[in-house]
Amino acid sequence: MPLVPEFQTLISEPREDYTLIDSGNGRKLESYGPYRFIRPELQAMWAPATDDWSADAEFVPGSDEDGGGRWYYENQAANSGWPLHWEEVSFTAQCTPFRHLGFFPDMDPVWRWMRGQLLSVTDTQAMNLFGYTGVGTLALSAAGAQMVHVDASKKSVAQARENAALSGMADRPIRWIVEDAAKFVAREVRRERRYDGILLDPPKYGRGPDGEVWRLEEDLPELIANCRKLLDENSRFLFLTVYAVRMSAMALGNLIATHFGDLPGKVEFGELAVREQARGHLLPTAIFARWSQ
pLDDT in tens, 123-160: 999 999 999 999 999 999 999 999 999 999 999 999 99
- Tell me the three-class secondary structure of 100-120, residue by residue: CCCCCHHHHHHHHHHHHHCCC
57 in Cβ contact with 37 (< 8 Å):
yes
pLDDT at residue 64 is higher than 80: no
pLDDT at residue 288 is higher than 60: yes
Residue 214, in any domain of the structure: yes
Residue 212, in any domain of the structure: yes
Q: From CA 142, how far away is CA 26, in angstroms rounded? A: 37
Neighbours of 243 (CB within 10 A): 16
State the pairing for strand pair 57-61/35-40: parallel
Q: From CA 270, how far away is CA 192, in angstroms rounded? A: 31
Our CA dihedral for 264, 115, 130, 265, rounded to 10 degrees, sits at 10
Res 66: pLDDT = 58
Determine the structural domain holding residue 199 and report its residue range: 6-292
Pick the more confident residue, 261 or 212: 261
pLDDT at residue 1 is higher than 60: no
Residue 1, in any domain of the structure: no
Res 247: pLDDT = 85
Please give the helix or strand (H or E) that residue 148 lies within, else none. Answer: strand 146-151
Res 227: pLDDT = 98
Residue 178, in any domain of the structure: yes
277 in Cβ contact with 21 (< 8 Å):
yes
- What mean pLDDT comes out for the span 71-100? 94
pLDDT digits (tens, 9 = 90+) for 157-212: 999 999 999 999 999 999 999 999 999 999 999 999 999 999 999 988 888 888 88
126 in Cβ contact with 118 (< 8 Å):
yes
- What mean pLDDT comes out for the span 230-255? 93
User: Which DSSP symbol is given to 202?
Assistant: -
pLDDT digits (tens, 9 = 90+) for 266-276: 999 999 999 99
Residue 185, in any domain of the structure: yes
Res 67: pLDDT = 60
71 forms beta bridges with 59
Q: Please tell me the total count of domains within the chain.
A: 1
Q: From CA 120, how far away is CA 109, in angstroms rounded? A: 19
Query: Residue 146's domain is classified under what CATH number?
Result: 3.40.50.150
pLDDT at residue 246 is higher than 90: no
Hey, what long-range contacts does 247-252 have (CB within 8 A, 24 or more apart)? 247/216, 247/217, 247/287, 248/287, 249/7, 249/287, 249/288, 249/289, 250/5, 252/287, 252/288, 252/289
Our CA dihedral for 55, 57, 62, 65, rounded to 10 degrees, sits at -70
Neighbours of 172 (CB within 10 A): 16
Residue 94, in any domain of the structure: yes
Q: From CA 140, how far away is CA 160, in angstroms rounded? A: 13
